[in-house]
Chains A and B, each alone.
Chain A
């Protein structure tokens, strides 16, 4: 992790360690280069505004040094630079500050998954007694078919794929509706309430849990 702000370093290191990652910290580009030369990392988190050089320059240099690990770019800038977009197309990802920890973790998982050997594409998802048939676009809970709209199915599928992990509202907007927006109304919540109404029927243990201020979790146990 290459980040110069001390406060951000601290909480990121704590959160990443709690999530099970081993983290090496570099406060600037020079230190990052030295670390990358001597160690092999699965993933890099790079802040764009470093004291000694530009984050993009650092990434380019690291790539020249033979570092192939995917990069998650953290940016406090307002607009997403064209060069960042270029990197994004190369398999890396970016996140603008401030971000939700859940989103950071989700993006890290995605980047790692992208680099991992691809398993055969799943056709069925199963979380507790909830089952999704991805080919027939059908969901059942305890054997009972749920009447879902196509959009609700996509939403539920996304929650199932991230079962047990927190997904934020902006992640849902990005992945389910394909929009990076921040509505100042509770549009996503309404979708979740409706979905919950269908998934968590009366007398059943609730599957979809709301973490206020953070997002939602589909509980996997």
Chain B
């Protein structure tokens, strides 16, 4: 075996270098990305609030169809899609650009260059998305789920993706040190996968539409991979960074984390086809999708085991940390939602859950209970380090956590229990269809109640964030518990 120099040798590793020129201080890196990250977080919170309003309207309309029924632009189909895009592309992407790129910059151990690229990308992204959401409400919506944004707004989003991807490659190229931490693998891969998914889906569905079921296949390949190859790797990258960082304890098994990454990279791409079980597409293709979905058990167990073993013995510390409280909630949800998702891909289970609210509950389980909760944790950890200020109110953090945790739990339980019953009833020819619809109403009302909890949580989050941003509590902040060190404070 050749004796190559270790990637961890002190001479090449900026983490242990004595030379200040080689070793970039984290606080310097934080300062270098502060303005861009703040821009994205503010945008993300703005979209979170807008998406929450759309969500509440949608939820109430589901069991009270005449609610705001006099307004054409607030019909169920439009406002529901406006909610999805505001949350997934507005909140989701902006918070990814903030937290994900901040983690990337820190792990690359080099102050951020080419910030202009990030600002241009952010401007394109938010302007394009605003035009898109307004277009959806005006009635220019496409009929394709997860690609509802009208054709005229999509080029701006594509340009934005490209710029973010280019920035990621530049940051990685000019990193200090040779080692690539597992979070960097996830972020790099996601930055690589998502433009590919988006461009292909746009080309084959919107710009040069393929015929027939190929459109459906492309649609669900894209839609499921937005979750699996964009939101999931970004959230896992954040969790793999935050959990050991906050606890000061290395991840339990780095080997498992790498195994989990490559298993996700290999298997997830196939999973989307299970949305078309029973559809008029080749059976082998669906079977391949089912196999891919079930094989996802491997990375899920690996990640769940790794996170669990890392926090064993540190449960009190987890509870005392706002960051880890959210992050661990998200990590546990990842295990649950993924195992449920794999089982939903089985034909016998899918016969019941398909076309029911179970799927809606599953989607929220993944995007909110897993992805969003981890990203909340990321924002709670990142902001004090960017601003050198403490969060002004612990009470608002607790209110945010409990509002979100209780809200999403009610929603997932209600929609999945109600959806399962709905599926069983729909498969029973003795029960009229209208009766199956009426029987879902109590569960849909429960969802509306869950929405109120979530709204309270989001408002608490927003108030705390802008309170912090506009400097109230800054005096206490200088000695706050989430600040890193004297060096970190002094470097501002």
Question: Do A and B bind?
Answer: no
Using a CB–CB cutoff of 8 Å, the interface residues on chain A facing chain B are: none
